[in-house]
Structure 1
Amino acid sequence: MDKNDEDRDERGFFGEAPSVPERESREKPHYHGHRDRLRQRFAEAGAAALSDYELLELFLFRAIPRADTKEPAKTLIKRFGSLAEVLGAPEHLLSEVKGIGDAAARDLKLVAALAQRMLKSGLHGRQILSSWSQVIDYCHAAMAFETREQFRILFLDKKNQLIADEVQQTGTVDHTPVYPREIVRRALELSASAVILVHNHPSGDPTPSRADIEMTKTIVETATPLGITVHDHIIVGKSGHVSFKGLQLF
């Protein structure tokens, strides 16, 4: 099989493997049969029949067409801890894993971006407060694995539908500067009636600090006289999330 034929085979992904002469078939690398079997399992039984590393391995077939992808997939899960953490890891750390490299690392970040965009698109046109689990899923996918703190705001209209989703500030590993007047100014520019505040804790622990609580109270006090409601402040971390409303912190 020449290089062009092999590349076409990999681009087909789930398609039938082209027939090859018996001699060439015997010369195929050992992992080709494994790839065919894994594709077949996915085609017949779906994702539920595959473990996380196997799904990752299956995806890597396209990015790494002429090498074994089983060990790199297992190494990624072992190093970062879970499939979610693999997709949330920085590109430069992904590329350092043996067998991955720059191209496969970039493809993994593309998958992460597509997942975030899918979750975000599911919020458009919906009443946000009645789609709370989707809000949490989106915020977790977008922010939980960031290595620096981000402060994000979801701006809502009078029907509590999403107008805009913006990262207002990016800080350090444990601090993000937040300016309540800038938040209110932006809400007025967008004609937003309400906001949901979101930020992440790169440490993984979403427990609010005293500074988080005081900052939230200041934003509420600044926004309320201007008719802007703060529905909630959510902190996301690798281990979960915390809702200020749920904890009755304002």
Structure 2
Amino acid sequence: MTKLAGASPSTGQTAEHKGHRERLRSRFLDAPEALPDYELLELLLGAAIPQRDTKPLAKALIKRFGSFADVITADVEDLKTIDGIKDVAAAVLKVVREAAIRLARAPVLNNSVISSWDVLLDYCRTAMNTLPTEQFRLLFLDRKNTLIADEVQQTGTVDHTPLYPREVVKRALALHASAIVMVHNHPSGDPKPSRADMEMTRAVKDALAAVGIALHDHVVVGRKGHSSFKAMGLL
């Protein structure tokens, strides 16, 4: 087999390719915020697929999904429809999303959710506002309004997620929660609550009240912002 001039015998990388990746890494370390989305993806994918020039792959992902945030929040099976993205590369992208969520959640833990409301909203937006389908997240609080559990209760379609009041109550009782904050996203981007959202919220509030548990708020997040049922006078 004829080897490419300048290729590494162990990886098959050309010297030019290796030099490009090293320069990209150096630029990132000097000024990470200066890298465009596709170059940040290129650097990530290079760790997962070291033998390949990942610039075309990064550009294909941006073209398909729209932005860095959209890529890392995309469904794994959707990511794998891009030629060249397999399990390892998809896992690396999802690790980045999970890391972002945990970093955003850290300031919320062991603190009063009510007194750090803006931090909580930042966390909810990080976790949910670019998801391609609706997701319901329940935040369970103790008597001091400290977060004791943060759980995804349901995942649905692009415009609907079923949430069953009896299941919410059952889980709240199991965790000995005193209050709950409901959060869900609108993939359309518009955080305005729908009529179905309002009806479901009333049903959950009534079911919780029957066992002495408060519903502090229901927050809807989307690309265009967020809506608070409490602030809108709907609770």
TM-score by length of 2: 0.85
Query: Structure 1's 103 and 129: CA in aligned 2 closer, same or farther, altered over 3 A?
Result: same
Aligned partner of 1:120 in structure 2 is 105
Q: In 2, distance between residues paired with 1:62 and 1:184?
A: 44
Aligned partner of 1:22 in structure 2 is none
Instruction: Return 209-218 or 127-136, whichever deviates more.
Output: 127-136
Secondary structure (helix, strand or coil) at the match of 2:47 reads helix
Listed as ranges, the matches of 1:127-138 within 5 Å are: 127-138=112-123
Q: In 2, distance between residues paired with 1:166 and 1:75?
A: 33
Aligned residues: 228
Aligned partner of 2:5 in structure 1 is none
Unaligned runs of 5+ in 2: 1-7
Query: Shift of residue 242 of structure 1?
Result: 1.8
Contact 2:44 2:92 in 1 (8 A): no
Percent of residue pairs bearing the same amino acid type: 54
What is the aligned counterpart of 1:231 among 216, 224, 235?
A: 216
Tell me, yes or no, if structure 1 residue 152 matches structure 2 residue 137: yes
Query: Shift of residue 77 of structure 1?
Result: 1.7
Aligned partner of 1:190 in structure 2 is 175
Contact 2:42 2:54 in 1 (8 A): yes
Q: In 2, distance between residues paired with 1:189 and 1:202?
A: 31
Tell me, yes or no, if structure 1 residue 2 matches structure 2 residue 9: yes
Larger Rg: 1
Q: In 1, distance between residues paired with 2:90 and 2:162?
A: 31
Instruction: Return 222-231 or 152-161, whichever deviates more.
Output: 222-231
TM-score by length of 1: 0.81
Query: Shift of residue 125 of structure 1?
Result: 0.8
Unaligned runs of 5+ in 1: 8-26
Q: In 1, distance between residues paired with 2:152 and 2:25?
A: 39
What is the aligned counterpart of 1:179 among 164, 167, 176?
A: 164
Tell me, yes or no, if structure 1 residue 161 matches structure 2 residue 118: no
Higher helix share: 1
Query: Shift of residue 121 of structure 1?
Result: 3.3
